[in-house]
Structure 1
């Protein structure tokens, strides 16, 4: 569980006369309150009368878009309307939820109010009533939202279930690139990369995958990127010949994509139901006939002809991870907390085959702060840092990320990023990490070794060897491509890295039409799966693009199935 640091510092922003308040009431006025959020302080301004909260305004916050910003945006109105800070935490944004409530609580205390006076229950507007829909999509991540939008655009009634209080799933945390060729951004640059070349490259680099699946991905990812642009996701920056991303001014890739998908769900009439967990898929005469759902109000059944499972992987289910990969027992994860294998388990219960469940990706590029928050540090290695073990020796390609994750696990799952001030001075993300106190710093390599416990002579020898690789333009040991860190600009830095489960890429067996298969390779009528939950043959190649390409395929084929039945 992530530790919370609650700041009680708050003060009135307008003067108030204590003589004007009745006994036991608050001192009317406007007060500041602070709570410690995921990315720093959340500061609110609360206006009170003697016995009521009149207004709540957020003055400053740095919470993550589409996750932490959900309580930031929704709680003020709920607190005023219900005169309570006893709101349910939003699952998937617990830290930000608690921080918002604590900020308002601290403002009430500054007004000499009794917090217990604002602790009433909120009547839930959520109902648990049986209903019907043409198609039910389980899981509102990238794949699920694309599938739901596609099916709704085909004229079908669609209910989209999400067990968390936020939509987006692991797509919210995508920060790097969306794999695509032949899209508008690349065409404008005159790129000569073709879908056939990309498909061949994917096949060669992922020999366990399905060449036909890679062909579909390569042929349709450009259309997916352009479609995202058409609905408001500004993927305008070409990230090399095979990917696009967003500009820093627009925002991180995942938040931009998820925001556009949420808006399009609303536009196309998708019935998005948050805090609604699909618990069982119902079958009648061998075909899908419904879904059982659990929400805060109880349980109910949705009668339907087709179900699309898009619940993501199982990286956040430590027991499942350890079952399929015992060497990862006890490892934390970096995926959505909702990725607990629900879809795999529901599908397996009605006869679906699960394939390649031991294909689990681990990434070593995470550091954990003293308050137990963790931070992705890919920018360190992508801008020059090297990675050493506790003995001060390089042992993998520092830029290998999840590709070398299991090698890091074999050496204990930890290590150190080592770099000099050139990165801190030149890279905004790294400067922010330094301000958060995530680095050990020293004026010399010897002092850095002493502070980290790394054997001094080993670290010095590793750095000298690496300097020679930089000078010669070739990493003789591990083939690293970027060679720019010369370690000649003090101070020097180290950051403790810990491997985390990033994603799981086996799952429910499907054909290339996203139809779910049983152990004999037979189609389970009316059941489809897309995204990380499915094993369709893409072998984890660029999940962001896989979600959008195969989510669309699932939506089209589910709609066609309903029309035919």
Structure 2
């Protein structure tokens, strides 16, 4: 990652807006810039744009959408921001939380109406893990890959060029202004393009072991279940220009990574009444309290493993979820008619498991504060073995509500913007401020903001 003097450049091509990174944020930013009347190009490191979005459940938490209004869900940006501030214990940026609350709903409706990218409110995701309202919106395929395919198709219909196998390598700068970029091809060749504005949407730094050791040392030995291309390129380039960083210790953890399949289990298994136990058959937390911080809790159990225990009712409810279909196909689900038989097959202490399930106080809060308002688990039973992991970093370049990158004094750069994993998110500090769907919510909301701002600046 290097900075080059603008005087060194002789650009054969100039684009008003360049988007670096072809994930959800980058593609939404490109669509927004295009709709605002700017010519735009996306440059993407991988041969096929995928990134962290494709590995996610594809769920976007959004407030004030047409679907919410249609289904009678009373929600708005202020309520969204209040949930964020409560979950992050006041460590998130309030103005940014309000912006994401406002633009996430606007983006969901705009993507559907203007670009045919279907995102619908999922009634099977009740409020949980810090959400006070039903907010989870999903595409018809209920996966991150399906969402990416729809965004790529929308860009294709809009005629937005996406240059793949192009690794952002250098920025040409004049003072604090970016005048163009240099990217490298797999054959070693390099190409330069001038720009009026640059949007960094190059994702986070989960795959950069040195950056994890520096900023999130508690997870330096944890398994990384994310896109290996997440090397923090955009963050490093912004930092080299003198940009401020924020919330660099924030991350999305996973306590539901099915082992050994390496498939993330949907939190609905817990929302609908399932529990997590260790090999002694003991629960160790409120499973609905901290979807991200649960990863570290699982790692702290004997053997760094846990099991999700659920019954036939939950099995049938989640039967068609794409990840669950894949998990069953590889034999990742243990099933039995009795708890003893299930414990024997899964390698859990049977007496401990029986005692744990018998002690669940249905209709009132347990010792960890979880209230079970779902029916007691009943045979036949099912179990999935899971581990904890790091999925996605949530800190990055400091930005204003329009997506403009800020310097150490809080002043915006003239034409440099950032979103998605390259920018500070709304999860505050550490792992416990993450709300389900917040990563994609920030990606599309800040993508919309960045695209509009860049078009104006360009």
TM-score tier (shorter): 0.7 to 0.9
* Residue in structure 2 matching 1:196, options 78, 81, 89: 78
* d(CA) in 1 for partners of 2:421, 2:327: 30
Do residues 232 (structure 1) and 116 (structure 2) align? yes
Q: Deviations over 1:209-254 (max 9, x none)?
A: 122222222222221111111111222335454425347xx31153
CA contact (8 A) 1:318 1:331 kept: no
* d(CA) in 2 for partners of 1:192, 1:495: 35
* d(CA) in 2 for partners of 1:427, 1:257: 19
Query: Does 1 or 2 have the higher relative contact order (CA < 8 Å, sep 6+)?
Result: 2
Shift of 1:168: 4.0
Gaps of 5+ in 1: 1-128
Shift of 1:530: 0.9
Change (3 A) 1:183 1:494: closer
RMSD: 2.6
CA contact (8 A) 2:117 2:154 kept: no
Change (3 A) 1:355 1:457: same
CA contact (8 A) 1:160 1:272 kept: yes
CA contact (8 A) 1:198 1:242 kept: no
* d(CA) in 2 for partners of 1:275, 1:265: 17
Change (3 A) 1:364 1:377: same
The residue number in structure 1 matching 2:450 is: 554
* Residue in structure 2 matching 1:260, options 150, 162, 178: 150
Do residues 280 (structure 1) and 170 (structure 2) align? yes
The residue number in structure 1 matching 2:135 is: 243
Larger Rg: 1
Change (3 A) 1:446 1:209: same
* Residue in structure 2 matching 1:424, options 286, 302, 315: 315
Do residues 348 (structure 1) and 239 (structure 2) align? yes
Do residues 209 (structure 1) and 100 (structure 2) align? no
The residue number in structure 2 matching 1:219 is: 102
Aligned residues: 425
**3-state SS in 2 of match to 1:172:** helix
Shift of 1:462: 1.1
CA contact (8 A) 1:408 1:414 kept: yes
* d(CA) in 2 for partners of 1:171, 1:282: 29
**3-state SS in 1 of match to 2:354:** helix
Change (3 A) 1:393 1:160: same
* Residue in structure 1 matching 2:160, options 252, 270, 290: 270
* d(CA) in 1 for partners of 2:374, 2:134: 24
Change (3 A) 1:184 1:256: farther
CA contact (8 A) 2:255 2:297 kept: no
Shift of 1:483: 4.5
CA contact (8 A) 2:103 2:448 kept: no
Shift of 1:432: 5.7
* d(CA) in 1 for partners of 2:60, 2:45: 26
Gaps of 5+ in 2: 1-10, 127-132, 429-433
* d(CA) in 1 for partners of 2:426, 2:384: 36
Shift of 1:388: 1.0
The residue number in structure 2 matching 1:409 is: 299
* Residue in structure 2 matching 1:383, options 241, 264, 272: 272
- TM-score, normalisation: structure 2: 0.84
Shift of 1:386: 1.1
**3-state SS in 2 of match to 1:365:** strand
Q: Deviations over 1:166-220 (max 9, x none)?
A: 2242222343632223322122234333333333233222211122222222222
